[in-house]
Chains A and B, each alone.
Chain A
Amino acid sequence: MRTQNIIKVCDKAMIAFLKGDKGALGVIYDCMAKLIYSTAYGITGSVQDAEDVLQNTMIEISKYAHTYKAGSNPKAWMLTIAHHCSIDVIRKRKPDIPIEDSKLPETSGTQPDFSQIEVLELLSLLDPEERRILIYRLYTGLPYKQIASVMGISVTSAQKKYQRSVKKLKACYQNEEVSHEKT
């Protein structure tokens, strides 16, 4: 579904939810769950934490739906809630589980899906804030203004942090290529 469609559908669903339509929350889930869950997984590196973030975000959306302003951007509003829920979940977890050792999501087969290892390896090279910026910009596709609003920082700061995180990844991969060439 295209971004503009998601925004329109979610806006209508929020209005319907506030008018008493319980099924509207299911519509919001269908539109946003994938984005919230996969973003949370990228940030937390843990399937369990991502599930917690998704559930907490849906709970907060239903609990504070009356604070939502109809006609505004529901996607940014919900991602802001998900962002705060991710931070809360990370704060509560025991600190010494590095992202590299995070539990991988199980697929229907008996073997774990190794494609997620590449994502986690990439993200483990960044600190938590750089990870969030990179995911919001390159995966979620948010413009800098919305990233700044979600993370509570200035637009300029968001731009600088994003550029720094991309440079860091490029530098790390360049070092790897050099060491591979040497071997």
Chain B
Amino acid sequence: MKKREIRNILKQLVDIPLPDKEKVLSACSEPKMVELVQIRKLKLKPLVAISFVLVLLVLSVSAYTIAAQVREYNEAVIFFSEYDLPIGGLTRGEIRKVYRDIRTMTFNYDKTAQVIESAVGGYEIFQENPTAEDLKNLWNYKNGMLFVQERTNSPVSYKYYTVEKLNERLGFDVHDKSVFEKYEKNELVWQVEFRNFWIEDYVMNRDRIIVYGRLPTYSSAQKSYAWIACIDSDGTVLWETMLYNGFKSEYIGAVVPTDEKIAVFSRGDLRYLCLNELDPDGEVINFHKTDVGNYGIWNAAKLGGDYIVQLGSYMTGEYAKIIKVNSEGVIIDSFLYDSDDNYYYVRDMIEYNEHVYLSAYSVPAPDKGEKDADKNAGGRHDIAPILRYIFDNNRMDISKEELTKLVRDQFTAVLLVCDPISGTPKEFYSVKGSLGSKLTINDSQELSWDVESITETFFSPMTSSFTIGGASYVYRYVFDKNGTLLSQEKTGEVVNFRR
């Protein structure tokens, strides 16, 4: 099928009749009269452009060197554009040098720091001369390669990734294998390959690793099955199991391993919550499905003899819906963490010391008038009042400092300690200006709570009028079984903040 044929089919869209014009325009606002900002387009007159080219040609540099430099410069410009780096104020030579400095990851050129600093909102470069390591971290943050400090004191870590290969019949890359690796003190210990599925996540089960994912597909017409596998501490795959529950599409949302069995919570056809229980050999011993509607399975934890599962929906803005599921898979209770004054957004949960801990953040609930105005806020309830302040007061050029203060006033990290039977919170910890993040139990059997402290934010209406971006530093709080705060530290990790 040629592009021309595709274009001709798309042209049929032109024939769709429009709705009534007056009906559409009747809902629009009255114009606000403001002073316009004119953009002046810079146009080089042809003669000046020709003169510029002639000057370039008579430079006393060999033709070959010019070509090489031009090629490098062109590559640099594309590179700067792709990574949103500012070119302003730099000469061609400086642009090439910065490009080379970043590509080789050397970070020795002094202009590189200036370029990266002005490109990234939300990370403060140290006031003294930055080290190459500092700049490398900043660069990695800018490009989504966040470094993650180990949450335990163990030297062991795991990594997984997908390898693709070209399918000549289809003409594009498809899944070849998924690879799971174990590292000890950053040295590779063993490596396991899976061809049946691509890995989406893993959990530890004492000294074994439970890996799960789904069948790779390249078309929505194909069926997508969930897979789960078990690897022992030496890197031997003990078993691989495909979940075959009669769905067109099924994926695993959460896995809760215990001593006797493995509870796998999967989602079937975007509406069924399924509990699959597997024995230690990977055989399915119990299955139960419940129609819960369009909710994703975001988290699950053991709760005595039952389980608690967090369901969520980005579409309806529900982040704090917790259900209690018994060992048969039947939903026996549900909790919605909410109050008149605040909305809660649960991000992680864990069972510790016979209680359930929920890591969340809260934002103030709007009053009734604002609630109606926010009906079409596109789900951005947590930043709606800030956006409203910006637009109502025409503060499109709001400074980072003022915006960050507003954002920090809006968010509070919350750690809820809940009764295992009733689910009601018994006590909580809060940190202003932050979001609750990951919960883990460290090697000393202490509870570790990560909190993302909103550090710097920015608003860029030319990119998106409805988004606030920025960065947060991660702090780590460690509690003992009595709930005593043992330590707090700034981990050095930086995460993205985007609403």
Q: Which residues of chain A have a CB within 8 Å of any CB of chain B?
A: 15, 17-22, 24-26, 29, 33-34, 37-39, 41-42, 47, 50-51, 54-56, 58-59, 61-67, 69-72, 81, 84, 87-88, 91-96, 105, 107, 113, 115-116, 118-119, 122, 124-125, 127, 134-135, 138-139, 152, 154-156, 164, 166-174
Contact = CB atoms under 8 A, between A and B. Distances in A.
A172 B1 CA distance: 9
Nearest to A122: B9
Contacts, number: 177
A138 to B, nearest CB: 5
Interface string B278-304: 000000000000000010000000000
A58 B28 contact: yes
A75 to B, nearest CB: 15
Nearest to B394: A66
Interface stretch (B12-20, B193-201, B231-239): B12-20
Contacts of B10: 42, 119, 122, 134-135, 138-139
B25 A156 contact: no
Contacts of A95: 270, 294, 315
Contacts of A38: 13-14, 16
B82 A115 contact: no
B38 interface: yes
Interface of B: 1, 3, 6-7, 9-19, 21, 24-25, 27-34, 36-41, 78, 81-83, 169-172, 218-221, 270-271, 294, 314-315, 376, 378-379, 391, 394, 396, 461, 463-466
B313 to A, nearest CB: 9
A69 B39 contact: yes
Nearest to A34: B18
B38 A70 contact: yes
6 contacts: A29-B25, A69-B38, A113-B15, A138-B7, A154-B83, A164-B172
Given A58-B25, A116-B13, 15 more contacts: A18-B36, A19-B31, A33-B21, A34-B18, A37-B19, A54-B24, A67-B461, A91-B314, A96-B271, A96-B294, A119-B10, A155-B81, A166-B3, A166-B6, A170-B171
A88 B220 contact: no
Contacts of A164: 172
Nearest to B10: A139
Contact of B218 (A58, A66, A168): A168
Contacts of A118: 9, 12
A39 to B, nearest CB: 7
Contact of A21 (B16, B31, B39): B31
B24 A173 contact: no
A52 to B, nearest CB: 10
Given A154-B82, A170-B171, A65 B31 contact: yes
A69 B31 CA distance: 15
Contacts of B461: 67
A129 B377 CA distance: 22
A84 B466 contact: yes
Closest 8 CB pairs of A and B: A38-B13, A62-B28, A71-B39, A173-B1, A88-B378, A139-B10, A62-B29, A70-B36
Contacts of A124: 220
Most chain A Cβ neighbours within 10 Å, of B12, B17, B30, B314: B12
